[in-house]
């Protein structure tokens, strides 16, 4: 099977090695740490530690942005991770969320992300890049034998999907678990790829998916809602055409965008979670009994996705329920998803 299942997480100071060993032991193909300096420990440092604690686990920055780090600095850091991990690094990048908001900045305009991606890709390829009129290169990369670090663009709106498909090796959609939205996003990426006559086979497509299995669906919804609100609100940020959404989804996403409390980012007790109704949670996320989660996740791979980056319960959930959900995910859901995808591939 050529599918990947990632654990999308955050670096906890002093725990990077333990988090990575756990993810590898549980059968995840990759582990990503977010780049949000005010909310979690540094991802590049954490992933370097994780590299030394694991053997096969892929290691991703999920995600950085074009505003808080110079492209040469980002390229140098992730290329170093590539060397230290034996070629297991992936660099995720988006327009910016909490990392920039906590510094009083707005998400980068699409044109800024586009230009940054061009510079970043040149640095990672060992070529000269021009930034602010000055040319430079990562001279130490010359003659190195490990593969170029793949760039993964986190994308919600059509413009970012398009530039990711044109400039990067990977695109990971953040449009929830709704099959119709994902199907449209996949089509947009493939169309953009075709426009620049780049090989479709060299573009890996994935999706960020909030996943919380639990026998009691109401418990699962309570556990998922804090983090799901964070991911759902991306669809209502400037530049994302809410009018293209189903009206029921658009109303929820608009309310989230208008009332989102950044001081309670990803928390279940945040005031903005009141705008999430059960129907929206069920459409955008994957929450409920294990058999429901398995069926929905296998269906997402059937759309043509190569990867799922799974985001678990809100960190402030009851510890015993969070642990129960994680165990169900690892022991029941993930093995069954892999088996289901394998059977579907054989039939096709």
**What distance separates the 2 farthest-apart alpha carbons in the chain?**
58
Distance of alpha carbon 338 from its chain centroid, rounded?
Answer: 20
Under DSSP, is residue 55 helix (H, G, I), strand (E, B) or coil?
coil
Instruction: Say if residue 245 is preceded by a cis peptide, omega within 30 of 0.
Output: no
The per-residue pLDDT for range 82-139, each reduced to its tens digit, is 999 999 999 999 999 999 999 999 999 999 999 999 999 999 999 999 999 999 999 9
To the question of domain 4-228+285-347 being in CATH 3.20.20.30, the answer is: yes
Q: Please, where are the H alpha helices in 260-333?
A: 278-284, 290-302, 319-328
Predicted TM-score of the model (pTM):
0.95
pLDDT (tens digit, 9 = 90+) per residue, 234-280? 887 765 666 668 888 989 998 998 899 988 988 999 999 999 999 99
Cα–Cα nearest to 268, from 234, 228, 310, 308: 228
């Amino acid at each position: 099977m050529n599918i990947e299942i990632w654990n999308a997480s955050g670096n906890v100071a002093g725990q990077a090695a333990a988090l990575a060993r756990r993810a590898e032991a549980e059968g995840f193909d990759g582990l990503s740490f977010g780049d949000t300096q005010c909310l979690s420990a540094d991802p590049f440092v954490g992933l370097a530690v994780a590299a030394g604690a694991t053997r096969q686990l892929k290691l991703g920055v999920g995600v950085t942005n074009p505003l808080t780090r110079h492209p040469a600095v980002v390229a140098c850091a992730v290329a170093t991770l590539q060397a230290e991990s034996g070629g297991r690094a992936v660099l995720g990048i988006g327009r910016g969320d909490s990392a920039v908001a906590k510094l009083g900045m707005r998400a980068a305009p699409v044109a800024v992300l586009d230009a940054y991606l061009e510079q970043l890709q040149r640095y990672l390829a060992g070529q000269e890049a021009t930034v602010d009129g000055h040319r430079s290169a990562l001279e130490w990369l010359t003659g190195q034998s490990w593969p170029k670090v793949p760039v993964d663009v986190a994308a919600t709106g059509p413009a970012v999907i398009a530039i990711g498909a044109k400039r990067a090796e990977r695109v990971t959609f953040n449009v929830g678990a709704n099959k119709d939205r994902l199907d449209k996003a996949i089509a947009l990426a493939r169309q953009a790829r075709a426009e620049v006559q780049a090989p479709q086979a060299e573009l890996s497509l994935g999706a960020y998916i909030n996943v919380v299995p639990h026998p009691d669906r109401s418990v699962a919804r309570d556990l998922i809602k804090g983090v799901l609100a964070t991911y759902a609100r991306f669809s209502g940020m400037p530049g994302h055409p809410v009018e293209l959404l189903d009206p029921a989804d658009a109303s929820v996403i608009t309310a989230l965008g208008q009332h989102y409390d950044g001081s309670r980012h990803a928390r279940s007790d945040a005031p903005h979670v009141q705008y999430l109704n059960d129907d929206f949670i069920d459409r955008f996320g994957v929450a409920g009994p294990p058999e429901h989660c398995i069926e929905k996740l296998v269906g997402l791979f059937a759309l043509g996705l190569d990867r799922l980056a799974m985001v678990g319960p809100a960190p402030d959930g009851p510890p015993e329920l969070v642990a129960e959900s994680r165990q169900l995910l690892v022991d029941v859901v993930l093995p069954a998803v892999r088996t289901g995808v394998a059977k579907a591939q054989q039939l096709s």
